[in-house]
Amino acid sequence: MAEIKQVMLCGYGGQGIVLAGTILGKAAFHDDKWVSGTNSFGAAARGGACRAEVVISDRPVIFPYVIEADILVAMYQTAYDKYIRQVKRDKGIIIYDDNFVSPKEAGGLKYIPLPATRTAIEELGGEMGANIIILSAAVEITGLVTREALRAAVAETVFSGLRELNLKAVDIGFKLGEKAKVKG
Amino acid sequence: MPKKILMAGNIAIAEGAILAGCQAYFGYPITPQNELLEHMAKRMPEEGRVFVQTESELAAISMLYGAAAAGCRAMTSTSSPGFSLQQEGISYMAGAELPAVLVNVMRGGPGLGNIGGAQGDYFQATKGGGHGDYRLINLAPASAQEMMDLTMLAFELADKYRNPVVLLTDGFLGQAMEPVIIRQPVTELPDKPWAITGAAGRPKNVINSFEMEPANFQPRVSLLLQKFERIKQNEVRYQGIHLDDASLVIVAYGSASRSALTALKMARQKGLRVGLLRPITLFPFPYQILADLAQKVSDFLVAELSSGQFIEDVKLAVGLDKRVELASQYGGVPLAPETILETIERMSKVTIGR
């Protein structure tokens, strides 16, 4: 069986969830994987629980949506509450922004808190970039895509005025991810 | 090496239209089709071509009529409620034999419905949602790659038959990002000696769908019907998967076929001999292929994102003595592969006489 990773990113519309999903999809594409990505495209994209789905596989993706997520990246409580049900029972990994999400932990699942928004405020001067920080940390922790591919995807997707800030966010995210890995 | 890019289905349609030499685009925003219009707004002026965001879908279809009559390769795109608004103009275009491409990125209905994907416009698109005796060629892509490829084919077929062609897809495929190999651009467009281009130095051309005297109009309609027969003879397209040893055949198109293929793989792992027939053209519908399959298969399962529309054509093809069951979703909800698998398993347990 070819390996398939189903990833769901969720948060509040405006946090950059859809952008993070697009970047993850492009990064996997750079790694020569087959990819399918879908997003919230309604009013949720501008406030409310918002999600992006990315399916990454060694072979062509037949069903383009997440059936059961291997990895959930959550940036807001209401979105977390809505999408936690779609995480693979007993083996899913949940990576969440500790500023906005406090999960009731269930057995079998792995919960990894990350100070994405706090670090963005401290090191980047605002919440902008928190999405890229948590995405990069998730990549570091799970090995979903290569570091180089993620960096390239950020550079090509983000508009030039914010490219530097977002590439800085990538480095911050990788470091947070490394720390979280050491903690286990 | 051809270039491969990760793009949403809606963008693949837009780029496919540009590659096919689309000279004019007219459209009015509606979700889940918006990325297509948005992309055209940027790309058409870059290519030195015409982009108009119209004041309504009615204006868009009427401008499309004009551009097609002037001999342009032209396109409009919309989603279900907008497609309903365009039906009058579509009938006029079919009557006047005007080639153009109509994209319908279907959403949940009826009424205003919602912005989820659905296939509830099947009857409307394939049987003629406007008035009169006409047919539209209907192409049903099942991936972002096919969004590009079939858009290009749509322009070719429209010109070949002087008939509007519908690219019938839905919000799920429109929104999903997948790798797309960029095709070679079409460099030579066909001559259109019938077009209204200024009659200086030649007899004038007339484009209309009107003839006051019924006895004179009937021959015109006969010519249309002959054209539809030619289309049925020449343009049937489909994909068959594991049909050789199948004892049960799923029939599904577009995004429902993606769920169906996933269910097929699961069923095969359980040792169930399941095949898939995916019509790529919905008009012309692959009746004969299904009729031939029905010579050796008795069980058919239709998977569709509408509440029993597409299944009518399948029943017509395989005959009333075959078992034809339905696994469906509707109203904007995706069809889970498990739903199809459950139906496969239930049908496999209760075999019927051959």
Q: Token pair for residue A173?
A: 């995210």
Cα B19 from Cα B197, distance rounded (Å): 24
Is the CB of residue A61 less than 8 Å away from at least one CB of chain B? yes
Q: Which helix (H) or strand (E) holds B25?
A: strand B24-27
Q: Is the pLDDT of residue B354 over 70?
A: no
Q: Tokens 């948005």 belong to which residue?
A: B38
Q: What is the DSSP letter of A7?
A: E
Domain residue ranges of chain B, discontinuous segments joined by +: 4-234, 238-349
> Do the domains at B4-234 and B238-349 have one common CATH topology?
yes
Cα B103 from Cα B162, distance rounded (Å): 17
**Residue B65's closest CA among B43, B44, B95, B36?**
B95
Three-class HEC string of B300-326: EEEEECCCCCHHHHHHHHHCCCCEEEE
**Residue B249's closest CA among B296, B287, B310?**
B296
Query: pLDDT 10s per residue in chain A (184 long)?
Result: 458 999 999 999 999 999 999 999 999 999 999 999 998 877 766 678 899 999 999 999 999 999 999 999 999 999 999 999 999 998 899 999 999 999 998 888 999 999 999 999 999 999 999 999 999 999 999 999 999 999 999 999 999 999 999 999 999 999 999 999 888 6
- Chain B from 191 to 210: CB within 8 A of any A CB: none
Q: Out of B34, B176, B336, whose CB is closest to A64?
A: B176
Closest residue in chain A to residue B335, using alpha carbons only: A63
- Using 50, 70 and 90 to split pLDDT, how confident is the model at B63? very high
Domains of chain A in sequence order: 4-183 (3.40.920.10)
**Cα angle: B219, vertex B65, B95; to 5 degrees:** 15
- How many angstroms away from the CA of A147 is the closest CA of chain B? 19
- Using 50, 70 and 90 to split pLDDT, how confident is the model at B350? confident
Q: Percent of chain B, pLDDT > 90?
A: 97
The HSE-up count of residue B3 (CA atoms within 13 Å, CB side) is 8
Is the CB of residue B336 less than 8 Å away from at least one CB of chain A? yes
Q: Out of B6, B34, B171, whose CB is closest to A26?
A: B6
Q: Out of A37, A61, A63, whose CB is closest to B337?
A: A63
A73 with A14: CB under 8 angstroms?
no
- Would you call B179 and A34 a contact, using CB atoms and an 8 Å cutoff? yes
Is the CB of residue B266 less than 8 Å away from at least one CB of chain A? no
> What value does the mean pLDDT take over residues B299-315?
97
* The predicted structure's pLDDT at residue A1: 40
- Would you call A35 and B178 a contact, using CB atoms and an 8 Å cutoff? yes
- Chain A contact set for B1 (CB, 8 A): none
**DSSP string for A56-117:** EESS--SS-S-SSBSEEEE-SHHHHHHHGGGBPTTT-EEEEETTT------TT-EEEEE-HH
B109 with B137: CB under 8 angstroms?
no
Amino acid in the structure at residue B185: P
Q: How many helices (H) and strands (E) does chain A have?
A: 6, 6
pLDDT tens for B187-221 read: 999 999 999 999 999 999 999 999 999 999 999 99
ipTM: 0.88
Size of interface A-B (CB pairs under 8 A): 52
b/e map A144-177, b = 16+ CB within 10 Å: bbebebbbbbbeebbeeeeeebbbbbbebbbebb
Q: Token pair for residue A78?
A: 């209401």
pLDDT tens for B275-305 read: 999 999 999 999 999 999 999 999 999 999 9
> What value does the mean pLDDT take over residues B335-344?
97
Which CATH number describes the domain made up of B4-234?
3.40.50.970
A92 with A71: CB under 8 angstroms?
yes
Mutate to test the interface with B, among A65, A66, A67 (most CBs of B within 10 A): A65
- Would you call B172 and A65 a contact, using CB atoms and an 8 Å cutoff? yes
- Would you call B172 and A38 a contact, using CB atoms and an 8 Å cutoff? yes
- How many angstroms away from the CA of B334 is the closest CA of chain A? 9
User: Which CATH architecture describes the domain B238-349?
Assistant: 3-Layer(aba) Sandwich (3.40)
- How many angstroms away from the CA of A14 is the closest CA of chain B? 18
* The predicted structure's pLDDT at residue B187: 96
* The predicted structure's pLDDT at residue B178: 96
Q: Residue B110 burial by CB count (10 A; 0-12/13-18/19+): exposed, middle or buried?
A: exposed
- Would you call A25 and B32 a contact, using CB atoms and an 8 Å cutoff? no
Q: Is the pLDDT of residue B101 over 50?
A: yes
B58 with B85: CB under 8 angstroms?
yes
pLDDT tens for B119-174 read: 999 999 999 899 999 999 999 999 999 999 999 999 999 999 999 999 999 999 99
Q: Token pair for residue B17?
A: 């239209």
Q: Token pair for residue B130?
A: 């406007």
Is the CB of residue A157 less than 8 Å away from at least one CB of chain B? no
Q: 0.90 cut: is pTM over it?
A: yes
